[in-house]
Structures are given as C-alpha cells and as structure tokens.
Structure 1
Amino acid sequence: MRVHNIQSCHLGPEISPEQFISEHFFLYLLKGSMNAYDGNKQYQMVPGDYCIARKNHLVRYTKYKDNGAFEKIIITFDAAFLQQFLERHPFEKLLPIPRSTDSFVFLPKQQLVESYIQSLAPYYNGQETLNATFADIKREELLLILLQNAPELQAILFNFGIPEKLNLEAFMLKNFRFNVSLERFAFLTGRSLSAFKRDFKKVFGVPPGAWLKKKRLEEAYFLLSKENRKPSEVYLEVGFEDLSHFSFVFKKEFGKTPGEVQIA
C-alpha cells in the first residue's frame, strides 16, 4: 500500500543507530523490502507488512530498495510514553509475558491499522516527522488500535524490567557478530560492565575485546574461504564497521588479505 504524500515517517524518539533495539517500535513498510536477523531467526518484510520490534534485542537489517526507494513508517513506543499511557488506560491485570523470544512480533492485518496509516498524511510535513503537536496523540491512537486487536501485546510493551542474568558463554557465542558496545553486551546479559568483564575472563580466559576481534576474524575467514563470500559483504556481517580496518587486522591475524583468502 502506498500512502499518499508520505514517503517515510517517524513518530517519537529516534531509535538507536546501533544493532540494538533500545525501545519498542511499530514498523510499517511502505516501499521496498527488508530482511532482518537477530542471531537466531530470519525475518522478511514486504510492503504492507507491519510489526512490533521488541526492545532489548540485537538485530541486523538488510534493506532493499524498489526503484531507488525504501520507505517506512516507524512509531516509537518508548518507556516514558508507555508509562503515561498505562496511567490513562490501566489494565486490571497484565497478561503473562509470552515465551516467544522473537525480536519482531508480526501483527494480524486489520482495516483499522490501514486507515490509521492513511490518517497520518494530513500531519506529515515532508521531513520524515509528524507535526509535534499531534505526535503523541497519533501514537496513543495507534496503540489503542493495536491492543484492541492483539491484547497480548500489553505483556510485551508494559514490561519495564531489565534483562535477567543470562548464560554468558551461550549468549556471546550466539551474538558475537553484532557490532555493539561492551556496555550493551553487559546490559543484555544482566550484568554491570565490571561484572561482565570479570565473568567473561573467567569463562573465555581472555578480555572480551580481544575475544570478539579474534572470533569475528575467524568467522570472516570461514565465510571467505569456505563459502567464497566477498570481503565487502563479510566485514559488516561479522561486526566490523570499516572495510579498510577489517582488511588491516585480518592480514595482521592471518598473514593474508581477505581477497587472497577468498580466491585461494
């Protein structure tokens, strides 16, 4: 569905530029397609799909343009907004948190959501944001619509707890490819930064920074030599930000450039 006069639109606080979902947000895809990976599961979205992205999850996105355009609507449900919403619309009893650990909760299609998306057009200012006067009103309207059709979302959205302490070894082996800070890793494993570093050294025998670099380089070597992947594809996938830096540390570790390993 193409919404008249809206290309991309954002309501609420900006979401984190990291591969980390710091606040819940509603995502509606207008144009293009998207694949996402959370270390455990792949997700695909096409125009007309919409979902809730759950906070405190690590996710890598790959966006694909359609005729040069990737257009979406993102509406952030940050904790402060959700707490205010709960004060205005209290529940007698919150439903239990679902067992699913999916990073994206896809929602059943309903006409009210489609009509809501269309209703954003008059407030759109062409700068990827809505008029601030109406932003919270429109966010509240959407949340009421979603909860009416999917009441189980209340248990996800109104859970204001912090992550519980997790098995550090299992978590890091699953998520080492994500390019986030040690502070993020510590938070997601239910630890302070100092406790994370201390526990990490006990489990892996080396500091987390050294382990992450070596583990990512070993993963890159496998992808290049065994799956014949290109260096320009691999460096982001294994958690490096810059291709030239990746090439430098790769050669320092293995004595060959990524390109030499690929064609060997």
Structure 2
Amino acid sequence: MYQAHKTGNVLLYTCHDETPFGHDPFVYENYIGIITSGSADQYTDKGVITYPTGSLRLVKRNQLLKVVKKPDGQKPFATITVFLEQETLKQYSAEHNVKADGVYVGEPVTLVENDAFLTGYFGSLLPYFDQPEKLTPVLAEAKTTEVIALLLRNPALKNFLFDFSEPHKIDLEAYMQRHFTYNVPLTQFAKLTGRSLSTFKRDFARIFSTTPEKWLQKQRLAQARFLVSQKNKRPSDIYLELGFETLSHFSYAFKKQFGQTLTELQTLSRANS
C-alpha cells in the first residue's frame, strides 16, 4: 500500500510494504530526494548499495536504476523528491546566466551533504505529508527554484545540473553486458547507448549475431541458472532482479530454454552440494 502526492516538481511518497523493482527503472529527469523514513537498496552491476534514513541523493537523468524500498518496522518508507526537469533547469540557466563548463562525467548517483540549509529546506516540506492539499503549484515552483540555488553552493554540481547534452554513442557490447537484467523497452536501450532504434538494432545484430529480444532472454536465463544452481537462490527472489515481469513467465521461459523446471534444478543442485 502506498500514497503519492505530486504537485509540480515535488513528490511526497509513502509506502508501508517492501516494494520490488518497478517495471520502468529508466530515470527520465534529474532529481534530488531524501529518505525521511525507512531505507532503500539500489542494485548495481557492482553489488547492492543501501541508503538509510536521512540519505540525500542527487540522481542524473538518462540512466537505469533498480531500487527496492523498505519500511522500518511500523514506520513506512517515505521520501521527498524534487524533480529537476530539463525545461526548469534551462529556464533557471537563462534567468541567472548559469551554464555548464562541459559535459558531466561524474557519478550518476551522488550523495549530497545534508547540511543545516538542506535540512531546513526538506524540513519545510514535511508538514505537507499531513496536508498535501496545501502544497500549491506556486509553492512547488518556489521550492524547486530554492533547491537549485542551494545545490549551486557547490560549484562542482553546475555541470551535473546544466549539462543538457544527450547520451553519445558508446560501446554497445560492454553496456549491454552490464545492463541486460533491466526490463526496459529497446527504445530506452537505444537512447542510453546514443543511437536511434534502427541503428541500435543494426549494431546489435552485427555484434551479437541475433536480435536484442532473443539475446536478452538468453542472457537472463543463463544468469538465472547460475544463481539457482550455484548460489542457491530461490526463483521467487530473483525473477524481478533478472528483468522478468512475472514468476510464471520466468518459469515457462526457463523450462523451454533448458528442458527442466526451476524446481528440478533446485533439487539437483541441493543433492550435489
């Protein structure tokens, strides 16, 4: 069970249950968000990063992000998120003559120091959890402008905020090997690798000698086989992590690919361990 109230760029979100990965982990716009209750686990190709209550993250647009949101006992998982949309940032840039010095090359998720000013800023938004109707569009716009100004106290964040360039063409093979478990449309994989959809499909066929759909399924199922047989993972715990939308589809695809059920593989693995 969750509640979400969004006015303008400001989103107030609470959830009383642990949430699995969403079906669309693509980050469309920059945002800054603070966890006011609970914690979040971010799954990356290098492992899991846990963000406790109080974590303040600045997240870059045009990336893939897998997060599990966790309540804290009787306390729900709750966040305040302010989206820093491109049009808003372009308007701020023009009005205040602030421009990027170059393309942003830092981390796509940056922890921001929650100093007295930012603590006060997010504290001023907390009362709206109880009275969300009081957060008017005018107030939400003012709060968005305020947080941009607060972030710009750190000159290193100027390129993060005001780099309006689109993803450039990158190594497709390396990118797909790192991100094949993300359940997103091919159009988003194309965008993130700096290609049109037609160019993405053409380059993909040249590199992998198959279609993206067939390759993605094969990679995900091979990873599933490894996790179940070698790491004793339960299918119900990994199907979302591997990019499958339902456990039934995962089980059907696995049996079709390998000629055995996941239950049979689990039984065999336990017998051999």
Partners of 2:237 and 2:132 in 1: CA distance: 31
* Distance across 1 between alignment mates of 2:165 and 2:231: 41
Report the equivalent of 1:176: 180
Partner of 1:248: 252
CA spacing shift, 1:129–1:262, aligned 2, 3 Å: farther
Q: Does the aligned pair in 2 maintain the 1:8–1:73 contact within 8 Å?
A: no
CA distance in 2, matches of 1:115, 1:142: 11
* Residues 1:129 and 1:53: Cα distance change in structure 2 (over 3 Å): farther
Q: Does 1:55 align with 2:32?
A: no
Asked if 1 retains the 8 angstrom alpha-carbon contact of 2:10 and 2:83, the reply is yes
Contact 1:11 1:76 in 2 (8 A): no
- Identical aligned residues as a percent: 36
Bigger mean CA offset, 25-34 vs 122-131: 122-131
**CA apart distance, 1:94:** 2.8
165-174 or 115-124, larger mean C-alpha shift: 115-124
Shift of 1:195: 0.5
Match of 1:237 among 223, 238, 241: 241
CA deviation profile, 1:28-87 (whole Å, cap 9, x unmatched): 001111111343464321111101011111111022111241011111001011111112
For residues 21 and 186 of structure 1, do their structure 2 counterparts lie closer, same or farther at Cα, with a shift above 3 Å needed? Answer: same
Mark the runs of 5 or more structure 2 residues left unpaired by the alignment: 12-21, 269-273
Q: What's 1:26 paired with?
A: 32
1:73 aligns with 2:77: no
Residues 23 and 166 of structure 1: CA distance in aligned 2, closer, same or farther (over 3 Å): same
Equivalent position of 1:3 in the other structure: none
61-70 or 126-135, which moves further after superposition? 126-135
TM-score normalised by structure 1 residue count: 0.89
Alignment partner, residue 131 of structure 1: 136
Q: Which amino acid aligns with 1:160?
A: F
Confirm or deny that 1:112 pairs with 2:121: no
Unaligned runs of 5+ in 1: 1-6
Residues 261/129 of structure 1: CA separation in 2 closer, same or farther (3 Å cut): farther
Shifted more, 137-146 versus 124-133: the winner is 124-133
**Please, what is the CA RMSD of the aligned residues?**
2.3
- Cα distance 1:216–1:190, how it changes in 2: closer, same or farther (>3 A)? same
Residue 88 of structure 1 corresponds to which residue in structure 2?
95
- Alpha-carbon spacing, 1:186–1:128, altered in 2? closer, same or farther (3 Å): farther
Q: Across the two proteins, how many residue pairs are aligned to each other?
A: 255
Distance 1:130 1:243, change over 3 A: farther
Matched with 2:16 is none
Change (3 A) 1:235 1:161: same
- Give the Cα separation in 2 of the matches to 1:193 and 1:171: 15
Which position in structure 1 is the counterpart of 2:206?
202
Is the 8 Å Cα contact of residues 9 and 140 (structure 2) preserved in structure 1?
A: no
For 2:155, the equivalent position in structure 1 comes to 151
TM-score for the superposition, normalised by structure 2: 0.86
CA distance, structure 1, for counterparts of residue 180 and residue 214 of structure 2: 12
Q: Indicate conservation of the 8 Å contact 2:34/2:57, yes or no.
A: yes
